Amino acid sequence: MENLFLEKSNKTPFIEFDANRGYLLIEGRSIPEDALDFYQPLFSWLDSYSKTAQEVTVMEFKLEYFNTSSSKCLVEILRRLEDINCEKHVEVKWFYEQDDEDMQESGEDYMQLVNVPISFEPY
């Protein structure tokens, strides 16, 4: 299975989905005009990955800002990880800047919504 790398832009985050290591990273700012257009390849990749997922999958979110549409797409990603977590082990790490309480609280909201363990990592 091919890995997925997307360079970051002013409006979209850096994406590193490494199937061999079971390491997934979304980093930066996510304010695309068409969130679904940006996230659809990620959904498709995750759908394929779920069939051959590693024993342990680590998903890291290092977001500094994301818009409302992106927040819905993040739910979709977490839903897919929730499915993978039923058979394999998934760890989600939610990174946020030390003084960014909003980002921390957003992560806590996601934790309440999905059935995947989320750990919080201030930096």
Partner 1 sequence: MSKRRQNIFYNEQHLFERSREVNNAFQETSDRDLLQEYDSLSSNYGRLLGEVKLITSVSDRLQNKLNKANEKISEQNEKLTDTVNLLTKAKISRAATTIVLIIAVFLFMLSEGVLEPIVEGYVDNDIIGFALKAVIAILLKPIEMLIESILYKKARKKAHHSIDLNEK
What residues line the site for partner 1 (CB under 8 A)?
33-36, 65-69, 71-73, 75, 102, 105-106, 109-110, 112-113
In the complex, the smallest distance separating the C-beta of residue 115 from partner 1, rounded to whole angstroms, is 11
C-alpha 18/C-alpha 69 separation (Å) is 25
Closest approach of partner 1 to the CB of residue 79, in Å: 9
From the CB of 92, what's the least distance to partner 1, in Å? Answer: 15
Cβ at position 73, least distance to partner 1 in Å: 7
Helix segments in the chain, DSSP class H: 35-49, 68-87, 101-113
Residue of 3, 14, 2 whose CA lies nearest to 62: 14
Do the Cβ atoms of 88 and 53 come closer than 8 Å?
yes
The span from the CA of 69 to the CA of 11, in Å, is: 13
Pick 6 or 75: Cβ nearer partner 1: 75
Give, as one character, the DSSP assignment of residue 21: T
Task: Closer to partner 1 by CB, 48 or 104: give it.
Answer: 104
Closest CB to partner 1 among residues 2, 34: 34
